[in-house]
Amino acid sequence: MRNKRDYHLEAPTWCPGCGIFALFDALKTTAAAMDLDPEHMVVVTGIGCHGRLSNYFKAYGFHGLHGRVLPVAAGIKLSNPGLQVLGVSGDGDAYSIGLSHFIHALRKNINLTYLVVDNRVYALTLGQTSPTSSLGFVSKSTPYGSKEVPLDGIRMALAAGGTFLARGFSGQSSRLASLIERGMKHKGFALIEVLSPCVTQNKLYSYEWYKENVYLLEDDSSYDPRDRNHAWERLNAGGKIPVGLIYEESRPSYEELVLPKKEKPLVFNDLKIDMPKFENYLQKFR
Ligand SMILES: Cc1ncc(C[n+]2csc(CCOP(=O)(O)OP(=O)(O)O)c2C)c(N)n1
Ligand code: SF4
Write the pLDDT tens digit of every residue in 147-170: 999 999 999 999 999 999 999 999
CB-based contact 274:251 (threshold 8 Å): no
pLDDT in tens, 167-211: 999 999 999 999 999 999 999 999 999 999 999 999 999 999 999
116: pLDDT confidence band, cut at 50, 70 and 90? very high
Write the Ramachandran bin of 178: left for phi over 0, alpha for psi from -120 to 50, otherwise beta.
Answer: alpha
Cα(282) to centroid(ligand 2), Å: 44
Q: What domains are defined for the chain?
A: 4-259 (3.40.50.970)
Taking the CA of 15 as reference, the closest ligand is 2
Please give the DSSP secondary-structure letter assigned to residue 197: -
3-class DSSP state for residue 8? strand
Q: Kindly compute the dihedral angle of the four CA atoms of residues 176, 253, 227, 244, in this order, to the nearest 10 degrees.
A: 0
Averaged pLDDT, 221-249: 96
49 touches ligand 2 (CB under 6 Å): yes
Q: How far is the CA of 234 from the centre of ligand 1 (A)?
A: 30
Q: Ligand 2 pocket, 170 CB below 6 A?
A: no
**CB 93, CB 111: distance < 8 Å:** no
| Percent of the chain's residues with pLDDT above 90 | 93
User: Left, alpha or beta for 129 (phi > 0: left; psi -120 to 50: alpha)?
Assistant: beta
Pocket test residue of 63, 68, 99, 122 for ligand 1, highest count of atoms within 8 A of CB = 122
Closest alpha carbon to 84 in 27, 166, 46: 27
CA dist 102 to 11, 94, 115, 231, 269, Å?
30, 7, 11, 19, 29
